[in-house]
Amino acid sequence: MRKIERQMIQAIQENKDLKLDNTEVISCSNVSDVYLHGNLIARIGETWMELFDGGYQSNTTKSRLNALLSAFGMEGEYVFQKNFEWFVNYDGSPIPFFSGMRLN
């Protein structure tokens, strides 16, 4: 995990705002929004998470989402790419990724 991703996770855990390089966390009322290059890529609540691609299915977006899933998701959840399409490994099964998907 990258240093910036560890700092992003710490800011969310502490319900604090963070702006560092291309990544920003804005926290309000126990909900944290995560932005990459100004595009929303995740919204994290106390018992749920919404994932977005921010319009760019880049390796950096995928890395940030996987860091968030590792910290706040269920064990074994991660985003991966197969044949140029994104999927989320959810409960041992791949499901197609779509921007705005919500995981509990």
For residue 30, give both structure tokens. 């126990």
- CA distance readout (Å), 38 to 48, 54, 70, 75: 22, 9, 22, 28
Taking Cα atoms as reference points, which of 20, 22, 63, 27 lies closest to residue 43?
A: 27
Q: Write out pLDDT tens, residues 7-25.
A: 999 999 999 999 999 999 9
Estimate to the nearest angstrom the gap between the alpha carbon of 82 and the chain centroid: 19
Say what the alpha-carbon torsion angle 87, 92, 71, 57 is, to the nearest 10 degrees.
-10
Q: Mean pLDDT in runs of 10 for the chain (104 residues)?
A: 95 97 95 97 96 95 97 94 95 94 92
